[in-house]
Structure 1
Amino acid sequence: MTEQESVPESTPQQTIAAGLRRERARSGLSLTEVAKRAGIAKSTLSQLESGSGNPSIETLWALCTALGIPFSNLLDPPQPQVRVIRAGQGPEVASSTSRYRATLLAAAPPNVRRDLFRITAEPGHPRDSDPHLHGSVEHVLLAAGRAMVGPADDPAELHPGDYICYPGDRPHVFEALEPGTWGMLASDFI
Structure 2
Amino acid sequence: MEDLRTRIARTLRREREGAGLSVSELARRAGISKATVSQLESGAGNPSVETLWALGVALGVPFAVLVDQQTSAPTLIRAGDLSGVPSAASVYNATLLSASPPGARRDLYVITAEPGDPRVSDPHHPGTTEHVILISGRARTGPVDEPVLLEPGDYLSYPGDAPHVFEAVVPGTSAVLISELR
Distance 1:132 1:107 in 2: 16
Q: Does 1:67 align with 2:22?
A: no
**Pairing 1:76-155 to 2, within 5 Å after superposition:** 76-155=68-147
Distance 1:89 1:64 in 2: 25
Q: Counterpart of 2:74 in structure 1: which amino acid? A: V
Distance 1:70 1:90 in 2: 20
Q: Counterpart of 2:32 in structure 1: which amino acid? A: I
State TM-score, norm by structure 1: 0.93
SS in 1 for 2:85: strand
Match of 2:173 among 165, 181, 186: 181
Q: Counterpart of 2:84 in structure 1: which amino acid? A: E
Q: Does 1:162 align with 2:179?
A: no
Distance 1:79 1:66 in 2: 26
Shift of 1:179: 0.5
Shift of 1:88: 2.8
Is there any run of 5+ residues in structure 1 with no aligned partner, and where?
1-7
Large movers: runs of 4+ above 4 Å: none
Q: Counterpart of 1:118 in structure 2: which amino acid? A: V
The more displaced of 172-181 and 10-19 is 10-19
Shift of 1:91: 4.4
Shift of 1:81: 2.7
Q: Does 1:54 align with 2:49?
A: no
C-alpha spacing 1:95/1:164, structure 2 compared with 1 (3 Å): same
Distance 1:90 1:73 in 2: 18
Match of 2:163 among 171, 175, 178: 171
Match of 1:15 among 7, 11, 16: 7
Shift of 1:30: 1.5
Which residue number corresponds to residue 5 of structure 1? Answer: none
Give identity over the alignment, percent: 57
